[in-house]
Amino acid sequence: MNAFNRRGLISAAAATALGIAALTPAQAQSQELKVGLSVSLSGPNSSLGVPYAKGMQAALAYRPEIGGRKVRLIVLDDGSDPTASGRNARKLVDEEKVDILMGSSGVPATIAISQVGRESRTPMIGLSPISLKPEESDWTVTVAQPPTLMIDAVVERMKRDGIKTVAFIGFTDAWGDLVYGALTKAAEPLGIKVLTNERYARADASVAGQVLKIVAARPDAVMTGGAGTPGALPYLALAERGFKGKVYGQHGLINPDFVRVAGASANGSILPTGPVIVAEQLPDGSPTKKVSLDFRAAFEKTNGTPSTDAFSAYSFDGYLVFADAAARVLAAKGGEPGTPAFRQALRDAIMASKEVVGTHGVYSFKPGSLYGVDQRARVLVQVDNGKWKLAP
């Protein structure tokens, strides 16, 4: 059934794009704010891209007007191809004259869009954790948490749990490198020794050999550096070998399909995530609780299904950051939407964001840094019979 929903969504998105292209009398819409979103609605990345698009629709329904101006959302599909996402961004800038670019579901695609944004002097809000050279990031911010922030939380938790030695098993690709790098960097000062650096490919069928090596090294705990469904493999193999220690994960595993495949083997594992995943369980004083619950309601109202993932919430946050900045620019009469002056003012306003409350965290951006979140953007959750429970 999933495929049918997705196809429906794609055709809806295509129809929207076509419809907008068909009626472009520039005058009639000159006062509108235009948001350009490019995500993967088809191809292998679509399991992330579709929630991103749905989250943005929910955000638009949540705040359809900013400072008295209507907001128009233009969604384009990049077919899981970073080159296509660069093309999409150019189309959004040149043909639609969008005021802000947003995207995407993959890191390379996000970087491609940010380059177009920089070149065309259009502000860009990234929705996935990218890293850019400081001189290339002057038009870009991202609402995702930096991976080190998340993994530091896990390592601190290991320290609290009295872990002295930890074994690592992760993907052979950039994600595995990133997690391993962050783990070793955080573990050393806390006196935790990283014993192994085992790797497997996303498409591998078995990690029995790697897990044997880990069990033979007798670590207190295991840290996994996988993502999505293939990330379940070490959990299953460790359970099969009867590993009794704790298994820690990271936010790449916060995904319903991971829990489905890993089943009971993931029980008790501790993972970091944005607080929106466990919004209902957050204490009442938590800064992001209200927005998170609003997001849940808006998402269910717009899309007819409850939101279970972290990705749609990133879109929602990206929109909130944009809305906050745009409202400030409009209030200060910083120019008409659709003009270069407005885009410049919008970019300056985004870079000056202070304490914008979103679902994943509280955002304060400043020039020269991509990320705008702090400790409030992470919580640790525990897998409990297929559900995420806020870790005590």
Partner 1 sequence: MSWDIALILGIDGIANGAVYLLAGLGLVLIFSVTRVVFVPFGDVAAFAALSLAAFEAGKLPPTVGLVAMLALLAVAAEVWTLLHRGEAARIPRAVLGWGLLPLLPCALAWGLTSIVGAGGQKLPQGLSIVTAILLVLPITPLVARVALQPLADASVLVLLIASLAVHFLLSGLGLLFFGPEGFRTSPLASGALELPGGLNISGQVILMVAAALVLSGLFFLAFERTVAGKALRATAVNRVGARLVGIRPARTALLAYGCASLLAGLIGVLVAPVNTMYYDSGFLIGLKAFVAAIIGGLTSYPLTAVGALAVGVVESFGSFFSGALKDVIVFSLLIPVLMLRSAFASHSEEETEEIDA
Residue 66: partners with Cβ closer than 8 Å, 6 or more residues away: 33, 323, 326, 327, 330
Can residue 95 be called a binding residue for partner 1 (CB under 8 A)?
Answer: no
Other beta carbons within 10 angstroms of residue 66's beta carbon come to 20
Shortest spacing between CB 207 and partner 1, in angstroms? 7
Stretch of residues binding partner 1 (CB under 8 A), selected from 127-135, 194-202, 244-252, 383-391: 194-202
Q: Which stretch, 153-161, 208-216, 302-310, 378-386, contacts partner 1 (CB under 8 A)?
A: 208-216
In this structure, the number of other CB atoms found within 10 A of the CB of residue 69 comes to 15
Site for partner 1 in 118-157 (CB under 8 A): none
Find the binding residues for partner 1 in span 349-388 (CB under 8 A). none
Q: Which stretch binds partner 1 (CB under 8 A): 117-125, 187-195, 229-237, 357-365?
A: 229-237
For residues 201 and 332, which CB has a smaller minimum distance to partner 1 in the complex? 201
Residue 109 structure tokens: 């695609």
Burial of 68: CB neighbours in 10 Å, binned 0-12, 13-18, 19+? exposed
| Binding window for partner 1 (CB under 8 A); candidates: 17-25, 150-158, 211-219, 280-288 | 211-219
- Looking up tokens 């007798």 gives 218
Q: Which of 8, 64, 209, 367 binds partner 1 (CB under 8 A)?
A: 209
Q: How far apart are CA 330 and CA 68, in angstroms?
A: 9
Decide whether 148 or 229 has the Cβ nearer to partner 1.
229
Subset of residues 151 to 180 that bind partner 1, contact rule: CB under 8 A: 169, 172
Distance CA 384, CA 363 (A): 30
Task: Verify binding: residue 78, partner 1, rule CB under 8 A.
Answer: no
Asked whether position 308 contacts partner 1 by CB under 8 A, the answer is no
Residue 228 Cβ vs partner 1, minimum distance, rounded to whole Å: 8
What is the Cα–Cα distance from 39 to 44, expressed in whole angstroms? 12
Confirm or reject binding of residue 259 to partner 1 (CB under 8 A): no
CA separation for the pair 262, 239 (Å, rounded): 10
Query: How many Cβ atoms are within 10 Å of 384's Cβ, its own excluded?
Result: 14
Residues 6+ apart with CB under 8 A from 17: 74, 75, 76
Q: Count interface residues toward partner 1 (CB under 8 A).
A: 31
Please state, as a whole number, how many other Cβ atoms lie within 10 Å of the Cβ of residue 305.
10
Query: Site residues for partner 1, window 230-249 (CB under 8 A)?
Result: 230, 232-233, 236, 240
Binder of partner 1 out of 11, 24, 30, 44 (CB under 8 A): 44
Q: Hey, what are 155's tokens?
A: 């390592």
One of 47, 85, 105, 128 touching partner 1 (CB under 8 A): 47
d(CA 164, CA 183): 13
Residues that bind partner 1 (CB under 8 A): 2-3, 44, 46-47, 169, 172, 198-201, 203-210, 212-213, 216, 229-230, 232-233, 236, 240, 257, 261, 263
